[in-house]
Amino acid sequence: MNTMTKHVLHRTKCYLAGNIENSNAPGSWRDQVKNELRETGILFFDPLKKPFLDSVNEDKEHMVRLAKLREEGRFEDLSKIMRKIRVEDLSLVDRADFLIASISAKTASWGTAEEVFWANRMKKPIFLVVAEGQRACPFWIFGTLPSDQIYGKIEDVIAEIKEIDSGAANIDLTRWKIFREEFR
């Protein structure tokens, strides 16, 4: 599809998947994406700033609290909190039209892996950035996602989304399920 229409992605929803637990700056790449794609009108679901009325945002203080619960062996309390977070995050993946995910090949991120695989099962477009570059991408991912959805830099993803939004890039309609504007 090549519509050459400005703002093809206007009011679509994008989930920003990436590790929070083992990250020094989990919000930095997310903020970059939101800032650089502001003009597109894409609505971003950021797990650090959840849209639900009763959500607890996963900020540094919250992460310290979770680590303390784990350290103290208060696993039932930890499980109760994390089950709510998991349900909310996967609900956002369900509601998203596409994902941008950032991973490190050297750091396991269980939530991000589940979010990416969850979205892939629904055949949603996924823009996966591997911090160490495409050549470091785990083998399993190459068996999961089309190789053209794997990137080495967030800037490449931003550029690709801008091309799609402008109508300059073709999109794969077997993955992209974009509602007509009046239904968004």
Where are any strands of DSSP class E within the chain? 13-18, 43-45, 98-103, 126-130, 150-151
Residue 184: name the closest of 96, 110, 124 by CA.
Answer: 96
pLDDT of residue 33: 97
Is it the case that residue 4 has pLDDT exceeding 70? Answer: no
Going from N- to C-terminal start, the domains of the chain cover: 13-169
Confidence of residue 172 (pLDDT cuts 50, 70, 90): confident
Provide the 3-class DSSP secondary structure of residue 51: coil
Report how far residue 155's alpha carbon sits from residue 161's, in angstroms, rounded to the nearest whole number. Answer: 10
Residue-wise pLDDT for 117-168, tens only, equals 999 999 999 999 999 999 999 999 999 999 999 999 999 999 999 999 999 9
Q: Choose between 124 and 61: higher pLDDT.
A: 124
> Topology of 13-169 in CATH?
Rossmann fold (3.40.50)
* b/e map 39-78, b = 16+ CB within 10 Å: ebebbbbbbeebeeeeeeebeeeeeeebeebeeeeeeeeb
What is the enclosing helix (H) or strand (E) of 146? none
pTM of the full predicted structure? 0.90
